[in-house]
């Protein structure tokens, strides 16, 4: 189980190696994604709080990266955080997520991205429920829910 200490170590010392890499040109990403998906996933945008398609959905399945279909989060670790964005306590695998220190907007946060294609997902915070204490706060525009995958 990942903890805040692990997250900070990844953000400072380097991330776990992904199982594969997906790289495309900006033109290819623009062709594959809607303008809003591109703004959020490729340009590090944020959807307005409470507007995302996955905010209040708790269907069984797995949340995959919109850009490369990498499994990111399982529905069993999703929780209602009242933050306005879908929230999770752990990634499916330790190497599914990439962590980077983010000092934009006068704050110090940890950005989370898909470790396979570098799609911006959102941020992780140390104010989630036990036992991990983590809250992965993720944009709905960056994920797709695959309900054909049963929860693990």
Q: Is residue 38 within 8 Å of 29, Cβ to Cβ?
A: yes
Q: Is residue 19 within 8 Å of 95, Cβ to Cβ?
A: yes
Alpha helices in 1-152 (DSSP H): 4-13, 26-32, 35-37
Indicate which residue of 65, 67, 68, 137 is catalytic. 137
Q: Is residue 50 within 8 Å of 59, Cβ to Cβ?
A: no
Q: Is residue 120 within 8 Å of 40, Cβ to Cβ?
A: yes
137 is a catalytic site residue: yes
Active site residues: 137
């Amino acid at each position: 189980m990942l903890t805040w200490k692990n997250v900070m170590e990844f953000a400072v010392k380097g991330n776990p190696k992904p199982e594969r890499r997906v790289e495309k040109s900006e033109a290819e990403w623009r062709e594959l994604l809607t303008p809003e998906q591109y703004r959020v996933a490729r340009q590090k945008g944020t959807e307005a709080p409470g507007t995302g398609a996955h905010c209040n959905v708790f269907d069984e399945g797995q949340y995959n990266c919109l850009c490369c279909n990498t499994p990111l989060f399982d529905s069993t670790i999703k929780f209602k955080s009242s933050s306005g964005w879908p929230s999770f306590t752990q990634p499916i695998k330790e190497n599914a997520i990439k962590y980077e220190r983010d000092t934009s907007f006068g704050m110090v946060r940890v950005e989370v991205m898909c470790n396979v294609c570098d799609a911006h997902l959102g941020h992780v915070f140390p104010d989630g429920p036990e036992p991990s204490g983590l809250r992965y706060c993720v944009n709905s525009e960056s994920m797709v829910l695959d309900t054909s995958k049963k929860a693990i």
